[in-house]
Structure 1
Amino acid sequence: MASYPLPVFYDLEQTLSTKKERKSMFSNYGRPPKAPVRSAPVRRIYSVYKDEAPKPVSFREGSDQSFITGSPLYSSKKGTYFEQCYEIESRLGEGDFGEVFKVVSKENGKHYACKRNILKFRGERDRTRRIQEVKNHEQLTPHVNIIKFYRAWEENNQLYLLTEVCKQSLADILYNTHEFPENQIWAYFIDILQGLDHLHLHKCIHMDVKPENIFIGLDGRCKLGDFGLVIDFSNGYPTEALDGDSKYLAPECLQRVYTPAADIFSLGIVLLEMATDLDLPKRGPLWHELRTGHIPSMEGRGLSLELRSTIKWLMEPDYRKRPTTTEVLNYKAVKRLSRKNNVIYFFRSKVQTFNSYISKFFILPFIFCSFIYVNLKKKLLNYEEKCYHYQRLDTQWLSWWTILISPMMSP
């Protein structure tokens, strides 16, 4: 029997790389595609939820339940409520479970972001789990760093959520920008921190803090969105929950420990990613290193000691030693920069208000007067042409009349 050489295994050292380096390696291929959603044949396992008529979804008392039946545009014989009352302008994003569109309402002309579940309800239990996201939105009071929620409805066994539209996600910015100025990193971080603080004060854990769920609003602020995995801990911390993205997952979640500290760790990973452009691992030895206190060196990146210490503080392996959102907000550097951000946002809002005032009271009247002037000028030119035409007719008539009567007037 012939002998074959035995395989030799080498223990190669793995190192973390930046997204810029990965992007340069695959520059000809563009952005990597998302992994396909794996699901079993639904009809063989679940009893499909069969109610396909559109109806509002709300857990809030006194909420508007008549926006479908009271819509002047909707007719059950012409198609879906979504198609009849909203027009899709563009696709903003797509995840494993849903897709988001920028839409304009045909009733009031306003723009919204509409999230629609890709997979249909697989039964009453699955429907109950999914519409929990609506309840998570409605139990929160409005906040400048939380995506504004308007309404939700179900139709054709799919859930639709209507929220405010934003410029882009933080993930889009991180993909295109590999070096942030530190003041911008602090501004984004404080916005996200304030949104998380508002969430935790309402006894909620986000469980999926990542750049794809952080959005840049039209006012320039970071806003926290996508509350599909939110946990309510008002009655105690649960031992069962759906985990978020593994790249941002806190280590204690592997032991089924779910506390607000999990969001703090995820925020620390996001802050590390913004500061170092790190290409985060999804699994493996490097994934475990980041969760045991082995944070890559940040010495040569020109980052301040305050920012580096904040990242290490948030990424503390022991969740019991991690700070709360209130403690981080009371950190001296954060308080100083938070006041600075509030001043910037204040003046930015005043400038936007002034620009809208100028647009409303100066530009629009100017456009209106220009329109009137152009129309008057056209009418004047038409009048002058008509006068010139009549003048030519008068001249011709006078010349013919002179020719006719000149023989009669001759002696």
Structure 2
Amino acid sequence: MENPTKRMALKESNISRYEQEFLEVSCIGSGEFGSVFKCINRLDGCEYAVKKSIKPVAGSVNERSALNEVYAHAVLGRHQHVVRYFSAWAEDNHMFIQNEFCNGSSLEELIKEYNEDNKIFSQDDLRTLLIHILEGLKYIHSMSLIHLDIKPGNIFISREKHYNSINGDSHDDGFEDDEAEDVTYKIGDLGHVTSLHNPVVEEGDCRYLPREILQEDYSHLPKADIFALGLTVYEAGGGGPLPKNGVWWHAIRDGKLKDLPQCTRDFNDLFKLMIHPDPTLRPSAQCLLQHPAVSPTVSMTKAQLQRELRAQRHKNEMLSKILMSSFVTEHEESIPKRLSSSRCIGKKVNRSQSNIEF
């Protein structure tokens, strides 16, 4: 029996489906490989990001990158901090990849917006970004894969609004619910992903590459992702734009970074640790998630954690009292005052008298 081929070349599949299955809304990004479109699936009505190659891919140098991304998604499956993959197909020798649509655009776009508005990420914001991408990298590395192109343009943002009920109950208690927004950072664009054990390295953006990759030393590939992430978060904190070459480019690879003014000493030192010239001294994603600067509670003793818990409970109790007092006051003020001429119960009413003598 003839074994079916495991992987089909792009030119072997030529079934049209893009226009049949998707309504194209807008172009949300473009690059060397192609463009990404926000689309609505005509069947389920959901939004997706569909990547389409600009030029015919079959037989070109971009074919390996296109298929590499598909295979990487297939291996990785689903993770909260990796952009979700749905399907891929070829149409007229163009590659299409259907991914999760992230409604918050990319970190690169957010950094541009912040720069235009003279805003910066706070340390708490940077910590959230760092934790989310570390979780994604931890998962990718656990599958013996390396991303090799971590940068702001390949980190996508999902925003989801929800309402927090003040007292945790779903019924109407007279209080307005607070609107909150969950922000989730996700790793995308897996075109440079390679295997840890049999690497085929295609260099990514030189601004985020460590020196050892450029010297073709692939013995510590996971640490290249850590290097790139350190510079990515540093850039988000106002440390960019990063150089493509020159004196500063070399200084960064010697472990020299200017401190971010909004960050503590420990957090600034963490950046330097992540870009250490010696890749063996850069922590893994797992170790960084346990670093005190990333997760302050990790270094706290049981007694300290209990004190923090008691303090937080006390704050919550005080806040509840203040809110309840405010509610009662507003409720009383909303009740119309009785007219002074209103008759009191029992006023000028003949009272019965008992004739029984004791």
Q: TM-score, normalised by structure 1?
A: 0.60
Report what 1:215 is aligned to. Answer: 156
Matching residue within 156, 166, 169 for 2:106: 169
Q: Distance in 2 between matches of 1:323 and 1:245?
A: 22
Distance 1:200-1:249 versus aligned 2 partners, 3 A rule:
same
Match of 1:313 among 267, 273, 282: 273
Name which of 57, 77, 91 aligns with 1:155: 91
Aligned to 2:134: 193
State the shift of 1:293 in Å: 1.6
Say whether 1:103 aligns with 2:39: yes
Change (3 A) 1:126 1:216: closer
Distance 1:159 1:134 in 2: 10
1:250 to 210, 214, 221: 210
Which runs of 5 or more structure 2 residues have no equivalent in the other structure?
Answer: 1-8, 161-182, 299-358
User: Structure 1 129/269 Cα, relative in aligned 2: closer, same or farther at 3 Å?
Assistant: closer
CA contact (8 A) 1:51 1:156 kept: no
Change (3 A) 1:130 1:312: same
- The CA RMSD over aligned residues, in Å, is 2.2
Question: Where do 1:348-359 residues align within 5 Å?
Answer: none
Structure 1 partner of 2:195: 232
Aligned residue among 238, 243, 247 for 1:276: 238
For residue 320 of structure 1, report the CA deviation from its aligned partner.
1.5
Contact 1:98–1:117 (Cα < 8 Å) also in 2: yes
CA shift at 1:122, angstroms?
A: 4.7
1:116–1:158 Cα contact (<8 Å) kept: yes
* Partner AA of 1:274 in structure 2: A
Question: Partners of 1:221 and 1:52 in 2: how far apart?
Answer: 35
- What displacement does 1:49 show? 7.3
Deviation of 1:247 after TM superposition, in Å, equals: 0.9
Equivalent residue for 2:146, pick from 205, 220, 223: 205
The correspondence for 2:63, drawn from 118, 123, 127, is: 127
The answer (yes or no) to whether the contact 1:116–1:159 under 8 Å persists in 2 is yes
Match of 1:62 in 2: none
For 2:234 and 2:186, locate their aligned partners in 1 and report how far apart those are by CA, in whole Å: 19
Compared with structure 1, are the counterparts of its residues 124 and 278 closer, same or farther at alpha carbon in structure 2 (3 Å cutoff)?
closer
8 A Cα contact 1:102 1:111, kept in partner: yes
Tell me the residue number matched to 1:61: none
Which residue of the partner structure matches residue 296 of structure 1?
258
The structure with the larger Rg is 1
Contact kept? 1:186, 1:337, Cα under 8 Å: no
Q: How far is 1:297 from its partner?
A: 3.9
CA distance in 2, matches of 1:270, 1:336: 21
Structure 2 CA distance for partners of 1:255 and 1:119, relative to 1, 3 Å:
same
Q: Shift of the alpha carbon at 1:52?
A: 6.3
Letter in 2 for 1:289: A
Q: Which structure shows the bigger proportion of residues in helix conformation?
A: 1
What residue is the counterpart of 1:329 in the other structure? 289
Q: CA deviation at 1:305?
A: 1.4
**In the alignment, which of 77, 82, 97 is matched to residue 146 of structure 1?**
82
- Report if the CA contact (8 A) 2:122-2:262 is conserved: no
1:69 corresponds in structure 2 to none
Deviation at residue 218 of structure 1 after TM alignment: 3.2
Write the letter of the residue equivalent to 2:226: I
Aligned to 1:53, which of 1, 14, 18?
Answer: 14
Cα distance, 1:164 vs structure 2: 0.9
Tell me if the contact between 1:49 and 1:124 (Cα under 8 Å) persists in the aligned partners.
Answer: no
Name the SS of the counterpart of 1:152 in structure 2.
strand
Alignment of 1:48-127 (within 5 A): 51=12, 53-54=14-15, 80-123=16-59, 127=63
Distance in 1, Cα, partners of 2:248 & 2:214: 16
- Structure 2 length-normalised TM: 0.69
Which is richer in strand? 2
Residues 1:187 and 1:281: Cα distance change in structure 2 (over 3 Å): same
Q: CA deviation at 1:128?
A: 4.6
Give the C-alpha shift of residue 232 in structure 1: 1.0
Moved over 3 A (4+): 48-52, 124-129
Shift of 1:294: 2.0
Q: Distance in 1 between matches of 2:242 and 2:48?
A: 32
Aligned counterpart in structure 2 of residue 264 of structure 1, from 226, 231, 244? 226
Identity %: 32
Distance 1:126 1:302 in 2: 41
